[in-house]
Amino acid sequence: MRFNVERIRTDFPILNREVNGKSLVYLDNAATSQTPNQVIDVIVDYYRRLNANIHRGVHTLSQEATDAYEEARIKIQKHFNIAKSHEVILTSGTTHSINLVASGFSSYLSKDDEILVSAMEHHSNIVPWQMLCERTGAVLKVIPMNQNGELVMEDFHKLISERTKLVFCNHVSNALGTINPIEEIIKASHKVGAAVLVDGAQAAPHIKADLQALDVDFYTISAHKVCGPTGVGMLYGKEFWLKKLPPYQGGGEMIAEVTFDKTTYADLPHKFEAGTPNICGGIAFGAALDYMNSLGFDDIAVYEHELLEYATSELLKIEGLKIYGTAKNKTSVISFNIEHIHPYDIGTILDKLGIAVRTGHHCAQPIMDFYKIPGTVRASFSFYNTMEEVDVLVEGVKRAKNMLL
C-alpha cells in the first residue's frame, strides 16, 4: 500500500491551522518537527496522572514515573541497536550532548593533538571543539567540501594521521541535506586510534542508524527533530568512553556518596545525568520513536525521496533559481536562492502565504562563506508533507520572484 499521508496528517493537529488566512504549509522540519497526538497525549497524561520525581522516591507515583522514564531509555536503546541501556545518556539535546563530550576530553588532549571536523557542521559541532582547542592547545582541522556539498574524501584521508585524536562529522547536513559517508570516516579514524562523534540530529528523522554496526564512539540526537518535544535528546557513548570521561555537571542524581572530603560518582548512565531530568520529555521521546517506527523508516525514506525529487525538479523550472547541496546522497532538504533576491525577502513573502520555510545561515555560517552567499531559503520536507504542498511552495516562490524583481 502506498504511504497514506492523508491519514497520517490527521495525527498532527497543528497541520490544520491557518497562518495569515491561509492553510499552513510547514516546510521547516529540519529546524523542528511537528508533534503527533500520540506524543501530545503522553505529555498530557504524564502531568495528569504520573508527575513525580524519579529514582529516589519509594512512593508509587515516583516508582511509576521512574519505570516510564527507564522504559523510554530502553526504547531509545532498541531503536538505535545500542548494546547496553546505560550507554544511553538522556540530555537536553544535541548541543548538550556535544558539549558533554567536548568538556570530557579536556584532560585527554594536549598540544600537537589534532581534531578533525567537517566543513558542513552545525555551529553546535564547531564551537565546542574550538573551545576545547583553546583549553588544550590542540589544533582544529577541517575536512573540505566540494561545490555539490559533498565532503572531499581524498582530502580527509590525507588529513587524518596518528596525531588525530577526535573526528566530528554530522550524519546528515542540516543546511544542505547531504548524507555523509560516516562508515568510511569511522573506519579510517579507528585505524589511527581516533574517536568519532557523529551528530545524528538531522539524520534521525530520516534514517534509523544501527550504532553497533556503525561502531561509532558517540552519536547525538534531539527528540524535537523526530516528532518529540524540545529540551530532551540522547548522547550515545561506548561504555569504554563513558567510563573514562569525567562527569560534566555535579549535583543530585549523579553521585554515589557525598562527604565534604570526597564524592564518588554514580554508575552509568546516572554519572552524566545530574539534577532532575526532563522526565516528561524523556517519556515522550520514547513515544515519538514508537510513532515513527509504527510508520516505518523504509516507507518514510521512499516517500520523502519522492517529495524531494518532485520539489527539486519543479523548483529548478524557475529561472534564476539555484539549489545549494546537490549531493547524490541526500535527504529531503532543499536550500536555494534566486538571483538578485535576498533569501529573507522570499521567506517573508512565503510566510504571508502561510508557507513556513527557514531563511538565513541555518547555524552553518562556514557553508554560506564557502558558497559566498549571505544565506539561503531552506525548504525541508517531512513524511507528513504532500505533493500539493510542494505545488503551493513552487507557486509561492514564483510569486515572490515576480514581486521582488
Ligand X SMILES: *Cc1c(COP(=O)(O)O)cnc(C)c1O
Strand residues in 153-243 grouped as ranges (E): 164-170, 195-199, 218-222, 233-237
For ligand X, give the closer residue by CB, 125 or 354: 125
Q: Which residues of 90-122 are buried (b: 16+ CB within 10 A; e: fewer)?
A: bbbbbbbbbbbbbbbbeebbeeebbbbbbbbbb
- The three-state secondary structure class of 218 is strand
Cell numbers found for residue 223:
527528540
Find residue 257's DSSP bridge partners.
Answer: 264
Could you give the CA distance from residue 150 to residue 130 in angstroms, rounded to a whole number? 23
Amino acid residing at 35: T
CB of 175 to ligand X, least distance (A): 8
Q: Is the Cβ of residue 127 or residue 152 nearer to ligand X in the bound state?
A: 127
Which active-site residues does the annotation give?
363
Q: Does residue 180 bind ligand X (CB under 6 A)?
A: no
Which of 29, 33, 103, 174: binder of ligand X (CB under 6 A)? 174
Touching ligand X, residues 63-102 (CB under 6 A): 93-95
Smaller CB separation from ligand X, 300 or 321: 300
Q: How far apart are CA 226 and CA 121, in angstroms?
A: 20
In the complex, least distance from residue 180 CB atom to ligand X, rounded to whole angstroms: 10
The residue range among 158-166, 196-204, 320-328, 373-381 that interacts with ligand X, by the rule CB under 6 A, is: 196-204
Instruction: Please tell me what DSSP assigns to residue 10.
Output: T
**Closer residue to ligand X in complex, CB, 125/392:** 125
Binding mask 205-234 for ligand X (x = CB under 6 A): -----------------x--x---------
Q: How far is the CB of 333 from ligand X (least distance, A)?
A: 10
Closest to ligand X by CB, 122 vs 401, is 122
Task: State the DSSP string of 133-177.
Answer: HHHH--EEEEE-B-TTS-B-HHHHHHH--TTEEEEEEESB-TTT-
Residue 382 binds to ligand X (criterion: CB under 6 A): no
- Asked if 242 and 268 touch (Cβ cutoff 8 Å), the reply is yes
- Rounded to a whole number of angstroms, the minimum distance from the CB of residue 226 to ligand X is 11
Question: Taking CB under 6 A as the rule, does residue 124 contact ligand X?
Answer: yes
Closest separation between CB of residue 174 and ligand X, Å?
3
Cα 252 from chain centroid?
28
Residue 207 exposed, middle or buried by CB count within 10 Å (0-12, 13-18, 19+):
middle
The Cα 171–Cα 299 span in angstroms is 20
Segment contacting ligand X by CB under 6 A, of 122-130, 145-153, 238-246, 340-348 = 122-130
Stretch binding ligand X (CB under 6 A), from 74-82, 121-129, 305-313, 320-328: 121-129
Q: How far is the CB of 233 from ligand X (least distance, A)?
A: 6
Interface residue with ligand X, options 90, 198, 201, 357 (CB under 6 A):
201
Where does this chain bind ligand X (CB under 6 A)?
Answer: 93-95, 122, 124-125, 170, 174, 199, 201-202, 222, 225
